[in-house]
Amino acid sequence: MENKARLVIDSLSDNIGLARVTVASFASQLNFTLAELEEIKVAISEAVSNSIIHGYKGEIGEIDISMRVYEHQLEIIIEDQGCGIEDIKTACEPAYTTADRMGLGLVFIDSFMNKFEIESKVNQGTRLKMVKIPAQEQKQVN
């Protein structure tokens, strides 16, 4: 089975909940546990929050969330056209932040997903690709 959906939201904190619920609802097509769905929601919250806080820095822009289910896995791509990340390696370190925050968003995303990739260009935007495979499916493959 393959299915896809796309959600485009303004970079407003009011839209974080919408993004969380939409992606979790789409993900429920697969055999994720409730705990895994919570991990997905946290990852989405962190990614969208980063776009709002760091990418657009209070300006209004669009955040594009693409979702795809295929081969028993969920792929999520979150893109913005914000300021980009100068040093991705440093940004992925625990406690690194450019704002008055804990700096754990990318660390959480990486720990909750099976695959996590970041592409970013300064003054052009950032693209996060996340893949989550239900634990039940991983056991069948191994």
We report the CATH number of the domain holding residue 118 as: 3.30.565.10
Distance CA 78, CA 51 (A): 9
Residues labelled as active-site residues = 46, 50, 101
Q: Give me the pLDDT at residue 103, please.
A: 47
Report pLDDT digits (tens) over 75-121: 999 999 999 987 767 665 665 555 555 444 688 899 999 999 999 99
- 91 inside domain: yes
Residue 138 placed within a domain: no
Domain membership of residue 140 (yes or no) is no
Query: Is residue 76 domain-resident?
Result: yes
pTM here is 0.88
| pLDDT for res 22 | 98
Residue 27 is part of which domain span? 3-132
12-49 per-position pLDDT tens digit:
999 999 999 999 999 999 999 999 999 999 999 999 99
Label residue 6 exposed, middle or buried (CB < 10 Å: 0-12, 13-18, 19+): exposed
State the DSSP code for 4: E
Domain count of the fold of the chain:
1
